[in-house]
Structure 1
Amino acid sequence: MKTSMTEKYDPYENAVAERINGILKQEFNIAKYEVNLKIKKQIINESIKIYNQERPHLSNHMLTPNQMHKQCKIEMKTYKSKKLNNGVIVQL
């Protein structure tokens, strides 16, 4: 297995990764299967496929992530940085 890190070492980027990990653990119950590593990897891959191709997301206007990335009409939600008076950057 490889270690997975966020690209920019940004705590806000990590929050998104943690949210996805939580969904995989809670909605797909991947931790409940006590099977060998090969089958566990297959369960995780199938869960990710369902998450991206079949599960609509409220934040994507009830489209799947794959549908959202393929379309051009609806603008994707982003969390833009905003500088405060004291120079601190905050993600919104």
Structure 2
Amino acid sequence: NGILKNEFLLSRPADLAQAREIVKESVAIYNHERPHLALKYKTPDDVHQAFYRQKTVNLYQD
């Protein structure tokens, strides 16, 4: 993925374990912290949560 290489992989990992950790952290940042232009500067997590809340029925609504 270009974003992974260009934004998160700033140096070569020392080993496979470090590479896996970098990818794991990068995916978390990408999904939970990094705003996306295509999502109107929201994170994928924000969009997912809003969609889930919209689809949930509130049984206690007046």
TM-score (norm: length of structure 2): 0.73
Check the 8 A contact 2:9/2:22 in 1, yes or no.
Answer: no
The runs of at least 4 consecutive aligned structure 1 residues that moved more than 2 Å come to: none
Map 1:29-48; keep pairs closer than 5 Å: 29=9, 32-48=11-27
Bigger relative CO (Cα 8 Å, ≥ 6 apart): 2
1:29 to partner: Cα distance: 2.1
Query: 1 or 2, which has the higher helix percentage?
Result: 2
* Unmatched segments (≥5 aa) in structure 2: 52-62
Counterpart AA for 2:25:
E
**How many residues in Structure 1 have an aligned counterpart in Structure 2?**
51
TM-score (norm: length of structure 1): 0.51
* Unmatched segments (≥5 aa) in structure 1: 1-20, 73-92
